[in-house]
């Protein structure tokens, strides 16, 4: 647990000639099309794909980073849940959104 009370969850590491964290690319969009895509702060959705107002312009990783950077003392996560996959990324450091959970989705 850090000084502000939220806990950094261990990253899921990829082995490809050595261990490395899997990161959410800041130029990617937080979207799945069918399912649930969200940016959450302390478990509360700050953005969800279905409430972005204009489905043609979803939130990007860079926009999520800007929001988190302006209020860093929280548990920020990107949640992606689709029919065939699920992924959760947690912000561990500036510009570093680390994969902490994955699943086979909801179908």
- The confidence band for 5, taking pLDDT boundaries of 50, 70 and 90, is confident
Count of domains in the chain? 1
Evaluate whether residue 1 is within a structural domain: no
Evaluate whether residue 18 is within a structural domain: yes
Distance CA 21, CA 97 (A): 9
Long-range CB pairs of 102-105 (<8 Å, 24+ gap) are 102/12, 105/35, 105/81
User: Which pTM was predicted?
Assistant: 0.87
Range of the domain at 53: 13-103
Evaluate whether residue 89 is within a structural domain: yes
Evaluate whether residue 52 is within a structural domain: yes
The structure tokens 């399912």 sit at: 35
Evaluate whether residue 39 is within a structural domain: yes
- The confidence band for 91, taking pLDDT boundaries of 50, 70 and 90, is very high
* Residue 90 pLDDT exceeds 70: yes
Q: How far is CA 37 from CA 3, 4, 17, 19, 103, in A?
A: 28, 26, 31, 27, 14
Q: 6 is written with which tokens? A: 């939220």
* Cβ-contact 64, 14 below 8 angstroms: no
**If you count them, how many residues does the chain have?**
107
pLDDT per residue as tens digits for the range 19-68: 678 999 999 999 998 899 999 999 999 999 865 555 557 899 999 999 99
pLDDT per residue as tens digits for the range 6-32: 899 999 877 666 667 899 999 999 999
* Cβ-contact 4, 75 below 8 angstroms: no
Evaluate whether residue 7 is within a structural domain: no
């Amino acid at each position: 647990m850090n000084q502000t009370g939220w806990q950094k969850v261990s990253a899921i590491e990829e082995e490809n000639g050595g261990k490395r964290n899997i990161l959410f690319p800041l130029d990617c969009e937080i979207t799945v099309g069918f399912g649930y895509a969200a940016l959450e702060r302390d478990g509360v959705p700050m953005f969800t794909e279905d409430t972005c107002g204009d489905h043609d312009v979803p939130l990007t990783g860079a926009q999520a980073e800007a929001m988190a950077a302006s209020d860093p003392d929280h548990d920020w996560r990107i949640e992606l849940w689709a029919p065939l996959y699920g992924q959760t990324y947690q912000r561990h450091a500036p510009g570093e959104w680390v994969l902490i959970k994955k699943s086979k989705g909801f179908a």
